[in-house]
Structure 1
């Protein structure tokens, strides 16, 4: 499957902003069952400086410096990506979760693909006793890692209500878990926290999800959004597998990976600082369109 993706981020300011420095993580990855075909980013106003690097996790990161005074900042990212992956069956055999836990801690590499880097707490995903206990119900003694992760994903989907008004980016994980309300970012963080509490490697994945309009209705431009899910290391033979707790899905061809990290703070599509004195408004529009 080939997708054309357009991701437009617009900041509007009540008063002129004299300076902005932003980090952009908007180029989809190649690997993990997908291949980047093309990518471009248009920025208005025109930056004084643009530099590109790869961060520790291998994410294409562009640093942008804007020195001209402006009342709005528009970042228009366009990509074409080919996706071809096949998920394992939900009941496929896999090593026990205890075995995966032990092998992960024996890893000799500290590189971005090594499972040991995703076992411990991170800035937005603390290890909390109640969350660990919640996850433990899916992992009785000897349970296969894949079966346990599927069950945990299903329970998060069933027990938590999708509610865009319930949380913001800074809402603590403990509060999300107590309220049982949130968005895809929150569901991914809860599942990751539970897995890490058991000593299991789990990464945060940001990207896009192809959506389907109601029968007989046209697609609405800009109606899609960025999405988040979980990647779980299931042992040396199986490797990393994607789990989408928001939709109770194993990741396949409708998911397009943008970036991978320990939590949202590692993969935010756009972040940075500005020099300004009044309020700002953010608008994001995303289109994920299959290429016929």
Structure 2
């Protein structure tokens, strides 16, 4: 499956900014089941300095600075990728290891630290009261890890209500758990908290997913959004991805951009601005198959 993604971010400053430093994490990379055919970006006003780098989690990112007065910043990233089905979609979940065996391996010296770091709490993933008990309803003694994860994914999808605008990045995990409301970012963080609270390694995945309009309705340009889901480490299968927002074992419709401990590690665009007054931000994301691209 091939996709084109256009991600545009506009910042408008109440008072002109004299200087800004920014990090853009919107650059997809190749995976065994994802091939990046092209990537390009544009920034207005033109940066005074920019450089491509790779972070601790091996995500690609762009650092840039604008060292002149500007009242608006526009960043557009355009990607073309080809996706294929990951190997895990053909696996029988009942044939995977009992989750306790995976836990024991992760907490031994046999597991690499690059994997083990993902069973710890992080900035947006804390083990609030009751979360371990919630996870253990699915992760019962001796249960195959992938089978248990699929049930947990389904329970979160069923128990929680997708509610745009109810939360923001500062909303505590306890509020999300108590109200059972949020968006994909919240559901990903909650999934991670469940898994890490029982000692399993799981990481945050940021990217995009195609959203389809109602039958008979045209697809609106810019109506898509960034998406978030999680990956659970299963020995022999590597990082297996699950999307609680859509109750999916991820296949060939999720476009990966970056991975980290949580949203703080993979914020699409962040930085420091030297200005006074308020600023407004507008984000537009458009995900299309090549045959749907509007020229």
Deviation at 1:32?
4.4
The whole-number CA distance in structure 2 between the counterparts of 1:258 and 1:224 is 15
The CA RMSD measured in Å over matched residues stands at 1.3
> Equivalent residues in 2 for 1:39-50 (5 A)?
39-50=39-50
Q: Does the 8 Å contact 1:204/1:261 carry over to 2?
A: yes
Classify 1:70/1:171 alpha carbon distance in 2 versus 1 (closer, same or farther; 3 Å). same
- Which secondary structure does the structure 1 equivalent of 2:27 belong to? coil
Q: Does the 8 Å contact 1:90/1:150 carry over to 2?
A: no
Deviation at 1:92?
4.6
The whole-number CA distance in structure 2 between the counterparts of 1:238 and 1:115 is 13
> Equivalent residues in 2 for 1:4-153 (5 A)?
4-86=4-86, 87-88=89-90, 91-106=93-108, 107-110=110-113, 114-153=114-153
- The match for 1:206 is 206
The whole-number CA distance in structure 2 between the counterparts of 1:180 and 1:90 is 30
Deviation at 1:128?
2.4
Q: Does the 8 Å contact 1:128/1:197 carry over to 2?
A: no
The whole-number CA distance in structure 1 between the counterparts of 2:160 and 2:230 is 16
Q: What is the TM-score when the length of structure 2 is the normalising length?
A: 0.95
Between stretches 85-94 and 206-215, larger displacement belongs to 85-94
The whole-number CA distance in structure 2 between the counterparts of 1:89 and 1:169 is 35
How many corresponding residue pairs?
288
- The match for 2:174 is 174
Q: What is the TM-score when the length of structure 1 is the normalising length?
A: 0.96
Point out where structure 2 has 5 or more consecutive residues left out of the alignment: none
> Equivalent residues in 2 for 1:154-173 (5 A)?
154-173=154-173
The whole-number CA distance in structure 2 between the counterparts of 1:219 and 1:8 is 17
Between stretches 207-216 and 135-144, larger displacement belongs to 207-216
Point out where structure 1 has 5 or more consecutive residues left out of the alignment: none
Deviation at 1:108?
4.6
Classify 1:128/1:92 alpha carbon distance in 2 versus 1 (closer, same or farther; 3 Å). same
- After superposition, the C-alpha distances for 1:15-64 in whole angstroms (9 at most, x for unaligned) are 11111111001111211410111111100011100011100111111111
